[in-house]
Amino acid sequence: MSQNPLKNVAGKDTGFDGLDPDIIRGAKNNDISEVRAALKIDWKVITKRDLTFKMSALHYAAARGNSSMVSFLLEQKGADINLKDRWGRDPLDVAILSGNQDIIDDMFKFRHGEEPDENDPEPEPPLPSGDIITLKPQ
């Protein structure tokens, strides 16, 4: 019987006997060990998106309000806060919609290199897909 090559990655037991570690599943389940295992196999999975919604691990962590997962993902090589999902939203848009201020602040700092200015008006969330906007001349 052959041993699963994913059971031991970089000399450490991944805990994955039957399933390949998957960064999307790990982010959805807030399972940092699965996310770490997936990144150890291939760091480029940081930009992987699911087939149905085109959401990345960062999208899912933001949507579920998992601030520790968001922080971990932002620290990884190749982290991309500009990936768009099926509806054209990036992870910061998703964080704004979920309303978790810690995640919004972390993503804003990652994108702009600074904390948001408290005197600035709050950013408006993007319009849901399918909304019609009418522009009137002034």
| Segment (H or E) for 9 | strand 8-9
Fold of 8-112: 1.25.40
Q: Are 41 and 70 in contact (CB under 8 A)?
A: no
* Domain positions in the chain: 8-112
Structure confidence at residue 13 (pLDDT): 53
For range 38-61, the mean pLDDT = 96
pLDDT digits (tens, 9 = 90+) for 2-38: 444 445 555 555 555 557 889 999 999 999 999 999 9
Provide the residue count of the chain. 138
Give residue 112's pLDDT band: very low, low, confident or very high (50, 70, 90): confident
**pLDDT > 70 fraction of the chain, expressed in percent and rounded:** 69
